[in-house]
Amino acid sequence: MNLVKVKCTFCEKRFLRRKGQFDEARKFGWNQYCSKKCQFKNKTKKRVLSCENCGKSFKRTPSGISSHNYCSRSCAAIINNRNYQKRKAKKLKCKNCGEKFKKWGAGNKKYCSLACRNAAERYNPEKLLEIIKEVASKINRTPARRELYGGVDKACIKFFGSWNKAIELAGLTPNRSHDNRMYKRSNAKALDGHLCDSISELLIDNWLYQNNIPHERNAQYPGTHHKADWQIISKSQKIFIEYFGLANDSPRYDRAVKEKKELCRKHKIKLIEIYHWDLYPKRKFEEKIKKSLRA
């Protein structure tokens, strides 16, 4: 057996190896090691560093080396706390319990704990009914669910069982009754006498009437059973207004919306599309209609 002396790539110790293995490693440019331990140590490529706080030596891979190196988290904390001192905490008074507490950093903190915040800001049944009454007095009618944002409608359902039950307990008449389950409501009559299928449609119809825009309800689409919510009476062009209040809620409703859009394109009817986000929480439909009529 032919043996040759080889120098270990890591520890540089001389050791014997078969000539065939030596020739093969030299042919392909492989490193040669005296042991598995030396092979592992060479592959890790860890470097010996000195801790900037205590001076202790430690090893770290090249990917873990930064501009400042410490042997432990405690050593890093000692240096960082000395170089970057914390700002003084502000002393505030809790708006719920009145206890004083410390506030660190930015932000408008009002309460000393989550329990105090919940006690002060969470809705209770009495407060919910007060909110409903206040909104109703401002708009002079029973408010719709979408007009009360900030989680009021969900809180009403949680405490009272349903939105209509909350409306009744507030001393108001619900917009939707069991006799007229889906859309028809006895009190959804616009200022010009048009019967509307929802409070949202009532708002749009009243705005058209108050702005002297001549219109009619339930205009027929050509060659189909579909009807538009409104048609603007105009000699120059046929204009439909649709309130797609249930868009993205029902596949069947979305198919009907798509069919109406196709019919308008086919018959060159100008379509003004209004969605629930155009009414709630802010009324944006007014400007949308004005721009469409001006165009």
pLDDT tens column, 34-46: 999 888 888 777 7
Between CA 52 and CA 84 the distance in angstroms is 16
**Contact at 8 Å (CB) between 51 and 70?**
yes
Q: Which of 132, 157, 152 is nearest to 142 (CA)?
A: 132
Sequential DSSP letters for 183-213: S--TT-B-TTS-B-SSHHHHHHHHHHHHTT-
Between CA 242 and CA 292 the distance in angstroms is 13
DSSP at 146: G
Report the percent of the chain where pLDDT is more than 70.
Answer: 92
pTM exceeds 0.75: no
pLDDT band for position 51 (cuts 50, 70, 90): very high
Residue 80 has pLDDT above 90, yes or no: no
Q: What is the pLDDT of residue 71?
A: 92
Residues 283-295 have pLDDT tens digits of 889 999 999 888 7
Look-up: residue for tokens 């579909």?
226
**Contact at 8 Å (CB) between 58 and 76?**
no
Q: What's the whole-number mean pLDDT along residues 20-46? A: 88
**Domain boundaries, given as residue ranges, for the chain:** 1-44, 50-85, 125-169, 199-294
- Work out the mean pLDDT of the chain and round it to a whole number: 85
Q: Which of 72, 65, 67 is nearest to 51 (CA)?
A: 72
Strands of the sheet containing 239-244, edge to edge, are 215-220, 227-232, 239-244, 270-275
Residue 186 has pLDDT above 50, yes or no: no
The CATH homologous superfamily to which domain 199-294 belongs is VSR Endonuclease (3.40.960.10)
Question: Which stretch of 20-34, 133-147, 198-212 has the lowest confidence by average pLDDT?
Answer: 133-147
Between CA 167 and CA 28 the distance in angstroms is 85
Residues 157-182 have pLDDT tens digits of 888 888 888 998 998 888 754 444 44
Helix or strand holding residue 215 (H, E): strand 215-220
Q: Which of 224, 280, 285 is nearest to 256 (CA)?
A: 224
Q: What is the pLDDT of residue 268?
A: 92
